Structure 1
Amino acid sequence: MPKPECETDFGQWMENLTREAREAGVGEKGIAELHKASIDQKVLGRDRKQTVFNLTFTEFSKRLISEARLKKGQENLVKYADVFKKVEDAYGVPGPVLAAFWRLETDYGAIQGDFDTLNALVTLSYDCRRPDLFRPQLIALLKLFDQGVVDANTTGAWAGEIGMMQLLPKDYLERGVDGDGDGKVDLKNSVPDAMMTAGRMLSELGWKRGQPWLEEVRLTKDLPWEEAIRTNRKPHSWWAEHGVTGLNGPLGPDDGDASLLLPLGRKGPAFLSYPNFDIFVEWNKSIVYATTAAYFATRLAGAPAFDPGTPVPGLTQDQLKELQTKLQARGYEMGKIDGVFGVATRDAVRSEQLRLGMPADSWPTQELLDRL
């Protein structure tokens, strides 16, 4: 298992953290629990090897979304209809959106993680890869201990997320909502608390009440594929002019500007994404995760299964590493050569497709690799 890379004296580090925690307002109860913590090597192993988002959208969505999971989500929307109405009234976030996150995060609360949350956050705060990201979460967790909101032996995901919706301690502390009115915020066991808190969080991230998030579309002709960028939004009229239609006919009235999302290139599934889609990305920066969550929310809201199309086969992780190496040699900033199809790789692929006179749909293929 990998070990922390730069901190050599855990005892000295703990002394420094104790001082920092006291200065941040953590009381003796939280400090006492902190001193019981230890490094969890399994957490470091998970942090170094996150493989799930090497999957494509179709692979990931197939793994996470099944008819059984769709049925369970629909049943939960009925079972907790009063809760979801309360959330939408308060924060504008529809039930299908919350239920989609609930499924992807914990399979509707069934799988919340079995890592000791304190040890996980101590490990990630002590490790030198991303301490500035995790130290505030650790301080927040200690405050939750102080307040008696979270039990000291609570468990969750390896990166410190807690509860049905897998929220980090800082969000728990600052955004927690007592949805069932029992005087405490319990994100592990109370559906009303978990949904109200998630609704508040999505609202504060910028969710627009009554607005769409994702809509499957058809592509009836070639268009300037380089326009299919998530940050490039245009009115329905522009997309319609370039052959984009709804599933059952012309695009409807403008619901605000939208961008064309092609998760597997121009021959795969196609969606229009609206500003609310950005909130899915704020929740989880992986475009594959965000697209899957947004798509599942549309299914829970009544949309049909997407048309997978006939996409050109993508590249393996090793082939993506080769592609990234070639792109880096051409002057593109690739960061780590990791075989993960992220934003930097996507942008560089589109630029090279344009340079080579290929359809610039940002999808990496064997043809592109060969031509480079």
Structure 2
Amino acid sequence: MRLGTWMGLLATVSVFLTAAGAAEAARCSSSGANFESWKKSFSAEAKQNGVKPKAIAALMNTSYSTATIRADRSQKSFKLSLSAFMAKRGAPAIVSRGRALKRSNAALFASLERRYGVPPGPLLAIWGMETGFGNVTGNQNTLSAVATLAYDCRRTEYFTEQLYAALALIDRGTLSASARGAMHGEVGHTQFLPKNVRLYGADGDGDGRVNLNSKADALASTANFLKGHGWVRGAGYQPGQTNFSAIQGWNAATVYQKAIAIMGKQIDGQ
């Protein structure tokens, strides 16, 4: 191949890479400028992959969420020290309320421990940390949040999986297209992402369906999640102990993991 031809080819590749870089930058600008065209493309792909019309229609009705992107870019509390993090999260109040809920829901927690091997403490610590025991579950449209993050460039692959899971849940009626939750698409009392609802969602109140806005279902699902991440009945769950690795599966932040273990131990009275 002649030098001139090579130079022309390199120039073409350079232009292509520059254009691709510009397109990626535009996609990451938090403006959502191409969100509507992306939805059409994704919906066509999803239809080919077996997603049914009900879920496709729900996806096409989503909106780009600037609030979700803003929240995604400003998660600063996980950089705090453990003591500062626990103070910010109100650990003493969670422990106090957790102990009271353990007593008033003794039959439920006993049933969950028999079924999954998980004691009340870590479940109550997670419940308190995630939503203040169901008091603050979020008001962001779940499907719009997940679709926004699948479109965004920061964690595209991860949230594409979550989006497919959400669409499957809508198809089978587990998730409503109008469902609301936290900024990243988490739903219910313990803030499950859609993929975890599919993998670990459990019926805790015996009504034959999984509803993470039911405390019994949410706690059963959380116990099932921990069991699915290697929880061993009767083993300890503090850092360095067998079950701490299951808690690590719940949240990637070290301070969050340790806070769950510490508060759980205090709630369980160990």
Pairing 1:212–2:236 present: yes
Uncovered stretches (5+) of structure 1, i.e. residues with no partner: 215-271, 304-372
Pairing 1:290–2:261 present: no
Q: Which moved more, 1:34-43 or 1:65-74?
A: 65-74
Q: Which residue does 1:124 correspond to in 2? A: 149
CA shift for structure 1 position 65: 3.6
State the alpha-carbon separation in 2 of the partners of residues 211 and 96 from structure 1: 13
Q: Which of these residues, 178, 181, 200, is aligned with residue 224 of structure 2? A: 200
Q: Which residue does 2:39 correspond to in 1? A: 14
State the alpha-carbon separation in 2 of the partners of residues 175 and 279 from structure 1: 14
| Secondary structure of residue in 1 paired with 2:27 | coil
State the alpha-carbon separation in 2 of the partners of residues 194 and 156 from structure 1: 14
Cα gap change, 1:3 to 1:78, in 2 (>3 Å): farther
State the alpha-carbon separation in 1 of the partners of residues 44 and 114 from structure 2: 43
Q: Which residue does 1:53 correspond to in 2? A: 78
| Secondary structure of residue in 1 paired with 2:123 | helix
State the alpha-carbon separation in 2 of the partners of residues 76 and 133 from structure 1: 34
Q: Which of these residues, 76, 96, 103, is aligned with residue 101 of structure 2? A: 76
Cα gap change, 1:12 to 1:68, in 2 (>3 Å): closer
| Secondary structure of residue in 2 paired with 1:132 | helix
State the alpha-carbon separation in 2 of the partners of residues 55 and 141 from structure 1: 32
* TM-score normalised by L of structure 1: 0.63
Q: Which residue does 1:279 correspond to in 2? A: 246
Cα gap change, 1:64 to 1:3, in 2 (>3 Å): farther
State the alpha-carbon separation in 2 of the partners of residues 81 and 150 from structure 1: 29
CA shift for structure 1 position 82: 1.4
Write the letter of the residue equivalent to 1:35: M
CA shift for structure 1 position 10: 2.9
Cα gap change, 1:273 to 1:5, in 2 (>3 Å): same
CA shift for structure 1 position 8: 6.0
Q: Which residue does 1:31 correspond to in 2? A: 56
State the alpha-carbon separation in 1 of the partners of residues 233 and 26 from structure 2: 46
Pairing 1:184–2:209 present: yes
Structure (1/2) with the larger helix percentage: 2
Q: What is the RMSD of the two structures over their aligned residues, measured on CA atoms?
A: 1.8
Q: Which of these residues, 27, 35, 51, is aligned with residue 4 of structure 1? A: 27
* TM-score normalised by L of structure 2: 0.85
Write the letter of the residue equivalent to 1:186: N
**Total equivalences in the alignment:** 244
Cα gap change, 1:56 to 1:3, in 2 (>3 Å): farther
Q: Which moved more, 1:27-36 or 1:63-72?
A: 63-72
Aligned ranges 1:1-372 → 2 under 5 Å: 4-5=27-28, 9-188=34-213, 190-214=214-238, 273-303=240-270
State the alpha-carbon separation in 2 of the partners of residues 157 and 23 from structure 1: 29
Q: How big is each residue's C-alpha offset from its partner over 1:217-268, in whole Å with a ceiling of 9 and x where there is no partner?
A: xxxxxxxxxxxxxxxxxxxxxxxxxxxxxxxxxxxxxxxxxxxxxxxxxxxx
CA shift for structure 1 position 176: 1.2
For the Cα contact (< 8 Å) 2:170–2:176, is it kept in 1? yes
State the alpha-carbon separation in 1 of the partners of residues 69 and 36 from structure 2: 19
Write the letter of the residue equivalent to 1:139: Y
CA shift for structure 1 position 174: 2.5
CA shift for structure 1 position 54: 1.8
Uncovered stretches (5+) of structure 2, i.e. residues with no partner: 1-24
For the Cα contact (< 8 Å) 1:156–1:162, is it kept in 2? yes
Write the letter of the residue equivalent to 2:242: P
| Secondary structure of residue in 2 paired with 1:273 | coil
Write the letter of the residue equivalent to 2:261: A
| Secondary structure of residue in 1 paired with 2:187 | coil
State the alpha-carbon separation in 1 of the partners of residues 95 and 33 from structure 2: 48
For the Cα contact (< 8 Å) 2:91–2:263, is it kept in 1? no
